[in-house]
Structure 1
């Protein structure tokens, strides 16, 4: 099984919530890591997402970060809400 990781930086312009996380996160840039595994047996390379994680400021420890597992749909929802708030 072949796994690849994709990293991207996502910026939120407003404080936001992601379902599954109990706290509000501040506006700012966040690193998101998506792990994908290759689907074997095909005549072309194809991958499926197996994990999505976001690096957030740690609670209680100033300057520390933690990587939390989140749902890709939940992340997309948070981005959509942030973008629509910018239009208000």
Structure 2
């Protein structure tokens, strides 16, 4: 199966918490990698998101360590939506 990875920047305007995180993350812009697999349906091509990873800390925040943490794509969508409702 063919896969691809896309990278986007997600802006959180309020501190946020995702399942599996030990601490709340601060406001900021975060790089998010999303892995997708190709679906061949009839005569159309479509991509289905199968994994997501967030780069910590936020862009521009100096930290001693940088990590890429796996996150559930649905949890990411919910956190983004919650942030939009708060702003």
| TM-score of Structure 1 vs Structure 2, range by shorter chain | 0.7 to 0.9
Q: Which whole-Å CA distance do the structure 2 matches of 1:19 and 1:33 have between them?
A: 17
CA RMSD of aligned residues (A): 1.9
The structure where strand makes up a greater share of residues is 2
Query: Under a length normalisation based on structure 2, what TM-score does the superposition of the two structures give?
Result: 0.81
How far apart are residue 64 of structure 1 and its match?
Answer: 2.8
Number of matched pairs = 83
Runs of 4+ in 1 over 6 A off after TM superposition: none
Gaps of 5+ in 2: none
Match of 1:71 in 2: 72
Q: Which whole-Å CA distance do the structure 2 matches of 1:48 and 1:26 have between them?
A: 29
Query: Under a length normalisation based on structure 1, what TM-score does the superposition of the two structures give?
Result: 0.81
Gaps of 5+ in 1: none
How do 1:49-64 and structure 2 match up within 5 A?
49-57=49-57, 62-64=63-65
Deviation sequence 1:28-81 (CA, Å, 0-9, x none): 000111111112474321222111111012xxx924311111011111111122
